[in-house]
Structure formats: C-alpha cells, structure tokens
Amino acid sequence: MIEAVYKAMRDGKNGYAPSSGIKPALDAIRGEAARKGISTVQDVFVTTGVSETVDLCLTALLNPGDDLLTPCPDYPLYSAVLAKLGIGLNAYYLNEEDGWQPDLDDIKRKITPRTRGIVLINPNNPTGSVCSRATLEQIAELARRHNLVVFADEIYDKLILEDDEHIAMASVAPDVPVVTFGGLSKNYLAPGWRIGWGIVSGDPAVVKQYDEGIQRLLRSRLCANHPEQYAIKPALEGPQDHLPEVRKKLRSRRDLTVQWCNSTPRVSCVSPRGAFYAYPRIDIPERDDVFVKELILQKHVMVVHGSGFGQKPGTKHFRIVFLPDEKTLSIAYEAIAEFIGSRYR
C-alpha cells in the first residue's frame, strides 16, 4: 500500500482525481463487493474516509421532516450528521440480553411515515456485536415493506473474532436499496489515510435517482485524496496475511477483557464478536460520565462513557478499546478495579 501511494506521488498523480474515484480503485471495490456476495451493485465511489461517505449519503437522502433509524448504542457520527441536517433522532435499541442484536420489535414500533432509512453498524461500535443472518433477513424484510434505504456500515467486516464469516447486508437483500460502507481505516490499519468508499446496490429503478444525488454531492467537493486512492487496489487484491495475526491478537485481548469484566464486582460484559471494542455494563450510584472523568483523574486510565453512545434508560456502560497489548490492558484493568473498589464500597 505504501509503495503504491509513493509511486503514485512520484508519477505525478497529485492533481484532482475523478470525483467518484480513480478507475483502479473503483474496479477493486467492485471486486470486493463480489467477494462479499453483493450481486446487484449499481455504483461505487471513493470518499475521504467513511465519515464522508456517511455525511454524503445521509445528506442526499434526507429532507426536513424525514427521520432515519439509528442504533442505540451507536457511533456518534450518525447523530452528529443528523443534527447538522436538522433531522431529529429516531433511535432503535440493541438488545443487551440478546448479544446486542437489533431489537426488531423496537424497530417496528419506531418506523413512521417519514422514515427514509435505517443504519446498521455491523460489526457494531461500541458493542462489538455481529448481526446474525436471521436478523439481517428480518431487517431486509422491514426495509422492503416500508421502502427504506439500508446504510450498512461494515468498516470492521474482516475483524470477526469468531469462526463464522461476516455476512454483508446487501448479500442477503439484493433487491433492497443498500449503501455498504467500507474503507482502509480498520481492516488495513490506516485510519489516518482517510480513504473510504460506498457501494450502492439494489433494484436499479429504485436507487437510480438517489445515486444521482450522491454523485452531485461527490462532484461538489471535487475528490478524495488522489495518490492515497492507489492503495485501494493492493489492499483489496493483495496479500491478506496480516489479518489472521490481527484477529489472533484481538481475540486474546477480547478474552482477557471479558474475563476481567465478568469477574469484577459491579461490572458485566457481553462478549464482543467483532471489531476491537467491549461495552461493559456497570452498576454504580452516579452517572457514567462522572465515573469516566474521575477514573482519568485518579488512575490515568481512559475509557468512554456509555451515555456518549446511547443506552437504555436506567443502564450505565463504558466502552473499552482493547487494542493495547495484554500487559498494558492488565495494568489498566487492575487500576479500574481498584478505583471501583475504593469509590463504590
């Protein structure tokens, strides 16, 4: 990847690129879509990270008065973009008692005549949950029935910590309008390169006008980083031998994290099945943001408060990123346990 970008720079690929992306990158993304089982691809495009993909795709779809179903808990980018657009939040719960799977009954209750789409983060940030095929099929059926666009955020799709394969939403719903989000940040360990992409699939008659709106927004911001786009082809088509080692390390750190959570008083955790996050529940008599702030001040350990991602009323959580090595994690977990033991006697 580095050599491809370096060569592009040396070869003078430093001007503007086509707004949707360079052809080698787009061809590689189409190949990746095929490997994911997405059979009805209508368009692909490159963006400045998946954050821009989200922004463009939501902006192209939503008008004042519309709403979009987003998971709770979720990655806060979605609520931030909706706030920028003046769109109210319509959050559906993930069920902690069911491995953080989407609560289908809650989704059904929250669909309104102005609901235009649903966001599915799979694997999920912050919980690390991975949707089952049955869940995906039922969400697809709701999307068909209510004419919804599905935004399938699959940026962690190669970081599955169990033996089962990731299932792409668009592969189980080839007729449904789906925009699949991917990028180099997580699977290819290059978040600072800011390279993401979108894959538009579904019935061409249904997605054509919406995709034209996306293309207009892509043209309005000129292009994503030109030389960095040359990393996409070697990333997707080159050796993938780093991934087994990454998953092995993450699996070990996940197991350590879950064991600590479920053996520590006041803490419990559903075992994450993908990505590198855990979302433990904590039983304390004060707000989780207070817990996080005091933990930083007293123990110099940083986690993120669950109220920043969303959670059911009456519950409190915090997010752990278990990327550090086992020794570092163990030191941090010992400090958190000491903090909990002394503060909540």
Residue 345: pLDDT band (50, 70, 90) is confident
pLDDT at 164: 85
pLDDT at 233: 98
Nearest-CA neighbor of 90 among 65, 57, 126, 55? Answer: 65
Locate 29 and state its tokens: 């993304």
Residue 272: pLDDT band (50, 70, 90) is very high
Cα–Cα–Cα angle for 221, 224, 227, rounded to 5 degrees: 145
Residue 65: pLDDT band (50, 70, 90) is very high
Counting runs of H as helices and runs of E as strands, what totals does the chain give? Answer: 12, 13
Dump pLDDT digits (tens) for 192-212: 999 999 999 999 999 999 999
pLDDT at 15: 97
Nearest-CA neighbor of 183 among 170, 197, 193, 169? Answer: 197
Domains, the chain, with CATH or none: 2-237 (3.40.640.10), 242-343 (3.90.1150.10)
pLDDT at 89: 87
pLDDT at 149: 98
Cα distances (Å, whole numbers) of residue 160 to 76, 248, 263: 22, 10, 24
